[in-house]
Amino acid sequence: MTSSYRINYQLRAHKRDPLIEFIKGLLLTPFVLHAKPRKPVLTAPIDGDLSHDQESGGGGSSHTQDDDKNDYQEEEKPMVDANLQRYLEIMKSVEVMIEEHRRKALKGVPEHSRLHRIVPSVASFFTPLPLEAAFLDANAKHSIAARRFVPPSFNDIRRILNTAQVMAIAPTVSLITFDGDMTLYDDGTCFADNNTLIPLLVTLMRAGLRVAIVTAAGYPGDASKYEERLAGLLRNFQSNNLSEKLLERFYVLGGECNYLFRCGWKKNEATGAAVVGLTYIHPESYQPVDMLAWKHEDIQELLDVAEENLMRCVAAMNLKAVALRKSRAVGIVPINDGKIAREQLDECVLSTQQRLLEYQQMSGPSKIAIPFCVFNGGNDVFVDIGNKLIGVQVLQTYLGAAPDETVHVGDQFLSTGNDFATRSSCCTLWIVNPEETESVLKELTPLLTFPADGM
């Protein structure tokens, strides 16, 4: 009989990462078997209360409470060191499995790797991952091997994978892309002047990297809307009088993959003064032929189907939300700054994904199956034409960056998130807030090589 636990596990698959769950399960074994509990410490005897040995003339053991403390102190460090060694052996084994998977993938048979057999949904790896070294780094910061009651967690492993990826890609990285909300700034806010990520982004540009924000926010050809969201960052570029050559390394790709802008100096239309802003790049300059072939009427028909399903979800779950339609997107947003439960948002996402796949299957081969992305935005749900996989690939082709030279930083890497698809085209760093973005960039920037002229 299928257990209720297994049913619940399968139903929540969209909230799990199979590779992280696999590593977490491996690390749980040494935690359970070898993280020994503290030795019991005897309580001090009450005055006048003599032990049995003392009452019988002192012929017994002279074991005392201090002896227990000394035993514990003597075995504590060896236990931690031994447990660390076991964790490192496991991480090294996974590291070797990943490298074997990469070799099989280069031969065109990734399904023959041992890792693929154990984790069938495992993504591509474009660089080796030094997990053993990354675990040592994480243990120095968080004392993972010394923990007796809390085993290595999902977040521990996620951060270890980030550190390993930073170590691996630092020598070759040439393009780094970022999600916007909850990656560079808080959800629904703008880039503030005092954002601590600004000097780190400038450092990346000075190291010769192209930096791009790949966001779901879609304002067709309207640079001013993106300039408003990034106002603090652009003002900082301007106040520091960054050169045109440096600014040209910064891009914004909106609507997942539909609207590309380049940063640079330009004239303020109202005052005529020189300001740092964004310039729209026409699709013919960077979009591949298959993207340019997407027909307007086919796009609108797909969005009609998506909107119909989203509104059905709104009615079925009695959500206080309204539809928001754009030229290449449709979504539902709460009314009057209300809140929608995560489970309801995920229901809308999964239901709409399924409906659109059915629609495309029923449309037949005569109609181009336009790529789309349905994602939980934290307090809304949107369906975008295209996705960030296409967005990153477009930038890689336009800027000449290979998958092993590209890394995407984002917070939505579960299957209901819009960063998830990028795993197929580049290396990734999974963060959960702007503070973690700052942390991974502080790990990355010391490992970069800077041009002699700082440009």
Catalytic residues: 179, 181
413 token code pair: 């890497």
222 token code pair: 């309207």
287 token code pair: 């979009």
CA atoms within 13 A on the CB side of 317: 20
Which long-range contacts link 261-266 to residues 24+ away (Cβ below 8 Å)? 261/223, 261/226, 263/234, 263/237
Beta strands in 39-188 (DSSP E): 175-178
Strands 406-410 and 175-178: parallel
Sequence-ordered list of residues with C-beta below 8 angstroms from that of 99, at least 6 positions apart, any chain: 128
Do 213 and 184 form a contact (C-beta atoms < 8 A)?
yes
Do 271 and 278 form a contact (C-beta atoms < 8 A)?
no
Beta strands in 168-301 (DSSP E): 175-178, 210-214, 250-254, 259-267, 274-281
What is the CB neighbour count within 10 angstroms for residue 376? Answer: 23
CA dist list (Å): 124 to 33, 128, 231, 398: 33, 11, 36, 22
Do 344 and 356 form a contact (C-beta atoms < 8 A)?
no
Handedness of CA 139, 143, 149, 155 (dihedral sign): negative
Q: Which residue has the tokens 């920037």?
A: 445
CA dist list (Å): 119 to 19, 62, 101, 160: 7, 56, 11, 19
Do 239 and 275 form a contact (C-beta atoms < 8 A)?
no
